[in-house]
Amino acid sequence: MTGMWFGLAAIALAGAGALLYVDRTRRDQSGRVRQIWAKAQGYTYTGSDDQLAGEWHRAAMANQDYLTATDVVRGNRRGEQFVLFDLEETATIVAVRREIGSDVDIDLRLKSTAPPKDGDLNLLGAIGPRVVFATDLEIARRVCDQRMVAFTESVPPALSMLWSEGRWTLGSLPVSSSGRDWDAAIEAVARLSGILHVLPPVTDPSELEVDHDPTRPRPRPDVSDAPVVSDSDAPVARDLPSAVRDVPRREAPESQRREAPESQRRNAPAPDPSNTPKPGSGPQRSGTVRPVD
């Protein structure tokens, strides 16, 4: 009886070894296939990347940052930077980078897929064969226009999940997908990335003024547009810098401040009646007329 149990254990051990060998062979073959595919497309291939999976945290990447990304392909497709990799035995991930990131994240998944567990993603509704979740429902309603409807109806069913995180738009494929599936997935995720360019750009309140539009450069002050300050609008002494406030005031010489002698006042010419303005004609001014501010 004991010999029979030892025999069954040996058979199980041999079967497990055979499965591991087949799995290793299949993985190596899949890696070679992806490497050949990447080389044919002009992309860069890397066997593994321990840090890549930790870049994203939503949808298929939730709680997967401890896994190693394998068979990593990086490249540019029609001007779009992308990365494709296997999340061990879980899924194949495609990520396309946008030039400008956004604080609003959107999740598109098939109706048969379980809803996301992120607390900040709210259900918007169904669009085509997929269900939409977003961190800002009002903005997501504006994004889900006719282009989005047409897009969801043309997405390959193998892309069960599509979502955005900051600067990236991502999609999830079965790990058993082929080169044709990878091409279609990159194309679909890049199309969604183009649609999501309308999302509001990411903002940093610590670097922005209240009334400043982050999409426009900050205006430079123009000295020529500075208002002209009249004598009546000049700041009082307490508002001036101390270096200016402490400068002693120059007094006019005593000889200039003394009143004119009585003889000079008595011999002053009388005013000409012809130069006296008539009533109702208004004051007479000479020189350049300055517009009223």
DSSP string, 190-255: HHHHHHGGGSPBP--GGGS-TT--TTSPPPPP-GGGSPPP-GGGSPPGGGS-HHHHTSPPPPPPHH
Which residues, in sequence order, are bridge partners of residue 132? 108, 125
Residue 197: pLDDT above 70?
Answer: yes
CB atoms within 10 A of CB 31: 16
What phi and psi values does residue 79 have, to the nearest 5 degrees? Answer: 80, 0
Token pair in block for residue 260: 């004119």
Q: How confident is the model at residue 88 (pLDDT cuts 50, 70, 90)?
A: confident
- Average pLDDT for 161-174: 96
Q: How far is CA 19 from the centre of its chain?
A: 46
User: Which of 181-185, 186-190, 286-290 has the weakest average pLDDT?
Assistant: 286-290
CA distance 185 to 171: 7
Q: 103 and 128 in contact (C-beta within 8 Å)?
A: no
Asked whether 107 and 134 are in contact (CB, 8 A), the reply is yes
- The reported pLDDT for the residue numbered 14 is 62
What gap in Å lies between CA 52 and CA 50, rounded to an integer? Answer: 6
What is the average pLDDT score of the chain? 75
pTM here is 0.62
Given the DSSP bridges, would you call strands 168-173 and 161-165 parallel, antiparallel or unpaired? antiparallel
Q: Which of 146-150, 262-266, 282-286 has the lowest mean pLDDT?
A: 282-286
d(CA 80, CA 43): 12
More confident residue, 1 or 72: 72
DSSP state of 121: -
Q: Name the residue with tokens 């889900």.
A: 144
Question: What mean pLDDT do residues 174-184 have?
Answer: 93
d(CA 262, CA 277): 28
| Closest to 83 (Cα-Cα) out of 212, 104, 93 | 93
Query: Where is average pLDDT lowest: 141-155, 189-203, 278-292?
Result: 278-292
Say how many C-beta atoms besides its own lie within 10 A of residue 1's C-beta.
4
Mean pLDDT of 14-40: 66
- How far, in Å, CA of 258 to CA of 272, rounded? 27
State yes or no: pLDDT of 285 exceeds 80: no
Question: Distance between CA 37 and CA 189 in Å, rounded?
Answer: 19
Q: Average pLDDT in the 86-114 region?
A: 94
Extended strands (E) in the chain: 44-49, 69-77, 80-87, 92-97, 106-110, 122-127, 130-134, 161-165, 168-173
